Chain A
Amino acid sequence: MERQDWFDGIYTSTYRAVIGCAYFIVLDRDIAAEITHDAFLRLWEHHGRLVRGSNEKAWLIRVVTNLGISYRRSQGAAWRRHVDHQEPVDPGLHALNNLELVRVRRALLRLEPRDRAVISLRFDSGLGFAEIGAIVGKSENTVKTRFHRAIDTLRRQLGDASPFDVDSRFKDGSNA
Chain B
Amino acid sequence: MPDHDSIEQRLTDFYHRSRVAMSGPVPRWDPSAARVVKHGWGRQLMFAGAAAVFIVAVFAGARYLRLNQSPPAGQNQAVTSPTAEASATPQPTPTPSPFTGNCKLPVSWGDIGMPLSGGFVTFPGASFAPDSSASGLTTPYGQNWASYDTPMRRWVPVTREMLSPDGTTWLYGTLGRGMIYHAVDVRTGTDTTLWGSDQMFRIIGLDNSFAYAMLSGTGGAQLWRLPLDGSQGYQLKVNGTWQFVNHGAAWGTGSASLPPGAPFSLQRFDMQAKTITTWVQLSGPGSLVGFDANGAPIVQVGGPGGDVIVAPSPGAQRPVAKAVTFGKGPGEMSLPALGDAHGIWLGQTDGIYLSVNGVASKQSSVQAYLAGPCN
A90–B332 contact, CB under 8 A? yes
Question: Given the known A-B contacts A11-B29, A67-B39, A104-B10, are A98 and B19 also in contact in the complex, defined by CB atoms under 8 Å?
Answer: no
B89 on interface, CB distance cutoff 8 Å: yes
Q: Is the CB of A105 within 8 A of B113?
A: yes
Q: Is A128 an interface residue (CB 8 A)?
A: no
Q: Give Cα A44–Cα B34 distance, bound, in whole angstroms.
A: 12
A81 touches B (CB below 8 Å)? yes
Of A80, A81, A85, A167, chain B has the most CB atoms within 10 Å of the CB of A85
Q: Contact check, B34 vs A99: say whether CB atoms are below 8 A apart.
A: no
User: How far, in Å, is A64 (CB) from chain B's closest CB?
Assistant: 10
How many of A's residues come within 8 Å of B, CB to CB? 72
**Interface flag for B2 (CB, 8 Å):** yes
Q: Which residue of A lies closest to B173 (CB)?
A: A95
Assembled-state Cα–Cα distance A83/B113 (Å)? 19
A106 to B112, CA, bound (A): 11
Contact with B along A22-46 (1 / 0, CB 8 A): 0110001101001101101100100
Bound complex: CA A104 to CA B15 (Å): 10
Q: Which of A11, A12, A76 contacts B59 (CB 8 A)?
A: A76
User: Which residues, 312 to 337 on B, are CB-close (under 8 Å) to A?
Assistant: 325-329, 331-336
* Distance in angstroms between the alpha carbons of A102 and B331 in the assembled complex: 11
Q: Do B24 and A91 have beta carbons less than 8 Å apart?
A: no
Could you give, for residues 104-141 of chain B, a 1 whenever the CB lies within 8 Å of some chain A CB and a 0 otherwise? 00000000110000000000000000000000001101
B205 at the interface (CB under 8 A from A): yes
Contact of B173 (CB < 8 Å), options: A38, A89, A92, A151: A92
Q: Which of B11, B56, B138 contacts A119 (CB 8 A)?
A: B11
**Residue B207 CB within 8 A of the other chain:** no
B162-204 with Cβ < 8 A to chain A: 162, 172-175, 179, 181, 201-204
Known contacts A83-B325, A83-B328, A105-B113: does B288 contact A88 (CB below 8 Å)? yes
A85 touches which of B11, B24, B113, B326 (Cβ 8 Å): B326
Residue among B5, B37, B174 making CB contact with A162, cutoff 8 Å: B5
| With contact pairs A124-B19, A160-B10 given, residues A97 and B144 touching in the complex (Cβ less than 8 Å) | yes
User: Could you tell me if A84 and B328 are in contact, using CB atoms closer than 8 angstroms?
Assistant: yes
Min CB distance, A44 to chain B, in Å?
7
Question: Counting CB contacts under 8 A, is B143 at the interface?
Answer: yes
| B161 near A106: Cβ-Cβ < 8 Å | no
A75 touches B143 (CB 8 A): no
Q: Determine if A72 and B63 form an interchain contact, defined as CB atoms under 8 angstroms apart.
A: no
Contacts of B205 in A (CB 8 A): 91
Per-residue CB proximity of B42-72 to A under 8 Å, as 1/0?
0000000000000010011001000000000
**Cβ of A142 to closest chain B Cβ, rounded Å:** 20
Known: A12-B259, A75-B56, A89-B332. A35 touches B37 (CB 8 A): yes
* Cα-based distance from A23 to B112 in the complex (angstroms): 14
Closest B residue, CB atoms, query A77: B38
Report whether A94 and B7 are in contact in the complex, using a CB–CB cutoff of 8 Å: no
Residues on A with C-beta less than 8 A from B145 are: 94
CA distance A28 to B59 in the complex (A): 19
Q: When the two chains form the complex, which single residue of B10, B204, B259, B327 contacts A100, counting CB atoms closer than 8 Å? A: B10
What residue in chain A is nearest B17 (Cβ atoms)? A96
Tell me if A98 and B328 are in contact (CB < 8 A).
no
Quick one: closest B residue to A79, CB to CB? B59
Decide yes or no whether B231 CB sits under 8 A from chain A. no
Query: Chain B nearest CB: distance from A8 CB in Å?
Result: 7
CA distance A75 to B259 in the complex (A): 33
For B15, the chain A residues whose CB sits under 8 A away are 24, 120, 123-124
Residues on the B chain within 8 Å of A167, using CB: 6, 8
Q: How far does the Cβ of A152 sit from chain B's closest Cβ, in whole Å? A: 9
Chain B residue contacts of A141, Cβ below 8 A: none
Question: Which residues of chain B have C-beta atoms less than 8 A from A76's C-beta?
Answer: 38, 56, 59
Nearest CB of A to B308, in Å: 12
Residue A93 interfacial (CB < 8 Å): yes
CB distance from B82 to the nearest CB of A (A): 10
- Cβ of B349 within 8 Å of any chain A Cβ, yes or no, is yes
Q: Is the CB of B138 within 8 A of A99?
A: yes
A88→B289 contact, CB < 8 A: yes
Task: State the Cβ distance, B226 to closest chain A Cβ, in Å.
Answer: 12
Q: Contact check, B4 vs A100: say whether CB atoms are below 8 A apart.
A: yes
How far does the Cβ of A56 sit from chain B's closest Cβ, in whole Å?
14
A-B residue pairs in contact (CB < 8 Å), sample of 6: A24-B15, A88-B288, A91-B205, A95-B175, A151-B8, A162-B6
Given A97-B144, A108-B14; 18 other pairs, CB 8 A cutoff? A28-B112, A37-B35, A71-B38, A72-B39, A72-B40, A83-B328, A83-B349, A85-B325, A87-B25, A88-B288, A89-B333, A89-B335, A92-B214, A93-B202, A95-B174, A99-B142, A100-B1, A158-B7
- For the complex of A and B, list the 4 residue pairs with the smallest distance between their C-beta atoms, beginning with the closest: A99-B142, A95-B173, A85-B304, A92-B202
Q: Using a CB–CB distance below 8 Å, which chain A residues touch chain B?
A: 7-8, 11-12, 15-16, 19-20, 23-24, 28-29, 31, 34-35, 37-38, 40-41, 44, 67, 70-72, 74-102, 104-106, 108, 119-120, 123-124, 151, 154-155, 158, 160, 162, 164-167, 170
